[in-house]
Amino acid sequence: MKIFDSELRVLEVLWEEQEIRASQVCKILEEKIGWNRNTTYTVIKKCIEKGYIERTEPHFVCKILISKKEVQKQSALDLVDKLFGSSKTEFVKTFLEEQTFTQQEKEEIKKIVNEWN
């Protein structure tokens, strides 16, 4: 699943709204990032073709079909495949080495790892 940044912009609106008219998505994205109506409708149609969004009538209502968590998981796996030769270990090692964490974040990560077993 390859989700482009433009598709992600549309999905972010829908994750917040759940169900919304395409015309309203256009208004939101015009205000937020300056997209015109044609750009937004083109991206919405691509999201429909990929099965991320469902279109219902009347009034071209868009309904989100994919969760944010699903997109996050798949995008993370795609990144690991692309940059780390599918090695999750190398990804985690690199991520942990290059980040500065607060003590609270460190404790949360430790808790996640301990519960993961």
Compute mean pLDDT per 10 residues along the chain, 117 residues long, and list them.
92 95 97 96 97 95 96 92 93 86 91 86
Regarding whether 55 and 18 lie in a shared domain, the answer is: yes
CB 83 within 8 A of CB 72: no
Q: What is the pLDDT of residue 38?
A: 96
CB within 8 Å of 22: residues ≥ 6 apart = 40, 41, 44, 55, 60, 61, 62
| Domain ranges, residue 79 | 68-116
Number of H helices, E strands in the chain: 6, 3
Same-domain pairing of 45 and 86 = no
Instruction: Tell me if 24 sits within 8 A of 37, measured CB to CB.
Output: no
Q: 86, 82, 66, 59: which is closest to 8 by C-alpha?
A: 66
**CATH classification at residue 41:** 1.10.10.10
Does residue 60 sit in the same domain as residue 73?
A: no
Domain count for the chain: 2
Same-domain status, 72 and 39: no
pLDDT at 10: 98
